[in-house]
């Protein structure tokens, strides 16, 4: 069994064939998928989808790319929904935009505070911003947990994230030829700290790179981790699944 801990099935790219996408995932052993919210409309759609499909769970948050026109005001009401298992996608992105750093940090800190209040884990996006995100989280060490999704930093930063009590989320880029930094990270970080995800419809792994990503392709992330760690696919799937069940408290699923 595998859990895809990060997929944007609430995006328009999946409007026409979601049932088939879920069927293909299930056939590949994917028995749980987290549908990730990024603003109020996508949060609401993630929750609707999770309520309609047993294998889906939802998150609700405000992505750093949306902070100029979205606030966290609506989040508290959504976090009590029984299939909402995390806060996010939230965090900081200084790759696409740097002229609104203050508001990105403010909105991220508001969601960290919500995590401390509710006990829900955080799904964190960082791009060109790991240290700044780390600095926001450090005062909450021991009070919040979660995952640094689509991790793109190095082993040193991964260990800092783990010391904060967070998991490392790995996606399609681990299968790319130029992923030496990620592959070194996989070699050095214990499997107990890793989650697998697709970030569908983005970050499509080899051999499907260039096509729309979907949760069934998470198997290629699992296979690559197994190859790098000289472990079996079953071992990697079992441990990362249990990591996800424990972190997101996915009732009813067993690794």
Query: What are the mean pLDDT values of the chain's consecutive 10-residue runs (255 residues total)?
Result: 98 98 98 98 98 97 95 96 96 94 98 98 97 98 98 96 98 96 97 98 97 98 98 98 98 64
Residue 152, classed as helix, strand or coil, is: coil
Name the pTM for this structure: 0.97
The rounded distance, in Å, linking the Cα atoms of 9 and 86 is 16
The rounded distance, in Å, linking the Cα atoms of 197 and 70 is 25
Backbone dihedral angles phi then psi of residue 199, each to the nearest 5 degrees: 60, 30
Give the pLDDT score at 252.
Answer: 67
- Residues found in the chain: 255
Tokens representing residue 189 in the block = 């970080």
Ordered structural domains, the chain, with CATH: 2-248 (3.20.20.140)
Give the pLDDT score at 240.
Answer: 98
Tokens representing residue 30 in the block = 């994917």
């Amino acid at each position: 069994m595998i859990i895809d801990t990060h997929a944007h099935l609430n995006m328009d790219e999946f409007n026409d064939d979601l049932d088939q996408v879920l069927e293909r995932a299930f056939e590949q052993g994917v028995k749980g998928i987290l549908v990730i919210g990024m603003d109020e409309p996508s949060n609401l759609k993630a929750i609707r989808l999770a309520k309609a499909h047993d294998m889906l769970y939802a998150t609700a948050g405000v992505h750093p790319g949306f902070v100029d026109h979205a606030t966290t005001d609506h989040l508290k009401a959504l976090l009590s929904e029984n299939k909402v298992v995390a806060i996010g996608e939230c965090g900081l992105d200084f790759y696409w935009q740097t002229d609104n750093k203050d508001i990105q940090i403010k909105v991220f800190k508001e969601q960290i505070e919500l995590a401390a209040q509710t006990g829900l884990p955080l799904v964190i996006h960082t791009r060109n911003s790991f240290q700044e995100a780390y600095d926001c989280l450090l005062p909450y060490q021991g009070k919040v947990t979660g995952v640094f999704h689509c991790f793109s930093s190095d082993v040193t930063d991964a260990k800092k994230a783990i010391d904060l009590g967070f998991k490392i989320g790995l996606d399609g880029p681990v299968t790319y030829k130029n992923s030496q930094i990620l592959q070194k990270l996989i070699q050095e970080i214990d499997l107990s700290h890793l989650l697998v995800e697709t970030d569908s419809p983005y970050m499509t792994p080899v051999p499907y790179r260039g096509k729309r990503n979907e949760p069934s392709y998470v198997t290629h992330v699992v296979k690559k981790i197994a190859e790098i760690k000289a472990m079996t696919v079953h071992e990697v799937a079992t441990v990362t699944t249990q990591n996800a069940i424990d972190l997101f408290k996915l009732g009813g699923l067993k690794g």
